[in-house]
Amino acid sequence: MAAVTRAASASVGILTSTSIVASAATTFGRVPPPIQPTLIVSPRDGSFSERELSVLDDVEVGARVSIQRVGDRDADQLRYLAEIGIIPGRRVEVLARAPFGGPISLRVGKSVRSIGPALAKQILVAAV
């Protein structure tokens, strides 16, 4: 059976198979999974539910999604995302995507915000 690790934040626990990730990284040189089966742990009652998460960069124009998790390795990036309202639990709509790796326009509340695809790849979302 594959080894399983848990990465937890204050509100969400995520399980991933380390052997699958290591195998894909060896085979392909990088692992950009567009959909990640994820176990969500409720902070209130400890119950579990399974959801499929996508990387925001892979979401189609016109789709509405809920932010589930953001990359947390860069404090400046976390502050920037919080400043523009992209935080776990927030619902956003993908309005437009510029060609040739250009920015992605999002409706965040009543505002329209743009982020680059590199940043969007670090944001996990779920369909609403």
Amino acid code (one letter) for 108:
V
Q: What is the pTM of this model?
A: 0.63
Asked if residue 78 lies in contact with residue 98, where contact means CB atoms within 8 angstroms, the answer is no
Please tell me the predicted confidence (pLDDT) of residue 94: 98
Taking the C-alpha atoms of residue 88 and residue 72, their distance in angstroms, rounded to an integer, is 12
Mean pLDDT across 97-125? 96
What are the pLDDT digits (tens) for 29-69?
544 444 444 444 445 565 555 578 999 999 999 999 999 99
Question: What are the residue boundaries of the structural domains of the chain, listed by start?
Answer: 4-127
Fold adopted by 4-127: SH3 type barrels. (2.30.30)
Q: Two tokens at 69?
A: 């998790």
Residue 93's closest CA among 122, 69, 67, 119? 67
Q: Which two tokens stand for residue 123?
A: 């944001």
